[in-house]
Amino acid sequence: MTDAQMRLEQVRAAISDVLKKGQRLKRGDREIYRAELDSLRLLEQQYAKEVALEQASLQGRGRNRISYMVI
């Protein structure tokens, strides 16, 4: 698993935690705020693009399609 795939899984787990447990946790006199859902969604989109680019480059369909010919 690549770094981008691991980061994508971590962001998706964080989104799942926010959706299941809420944005704010309160235990006793302590309060913990999790990352905002909007920022997590943006990170998810960014990492999904990185993973797609990595997979495309592994399959030979990367963005760089310049070929140099020998004269």
pLDDT tens, residue by residue, 18-67 = 999 888 888 899 998 888 999 999 999 999 999 998 888 888 765 666 66
- Give domain status of residue 45, yes or no: yes
Please tell me the predicted confidence (pLDDT) of residue 35.
87
Q: Are strands 24-27 and 30-33 parallel, antiparallel or unpaired?
A: antiparallel
d(CA 7, CA 42): 13
Please tell me the predicted confidence (pLDDT) of residue 66.
64
- Report in angstroms the alpha-carbon separations of 45 from 9, 12, 31: 12, 10, 29
Which tokens in the block code for residue 2?
Answer: 């690549």
What is the total count of domains within the chain? Answer: 1
- Give domain status of residue 66, yes or no: no
- Give domain status of residue 70, yes or no: no
- Give domain status of residue 54, yes or no: yes
What average pLDDT score do residues 5-25 get?
A: 93
- Give domain status of residue 67, yes or no: no
- Supply the range of the domain harboring residue 17: 3-58
Confidence of residue 3 (pLDDT cuts 50, 70, 90): very high
Please tell me the predicted confidence (pLDDT) of residue 20.
92
pTM over 0.85: no
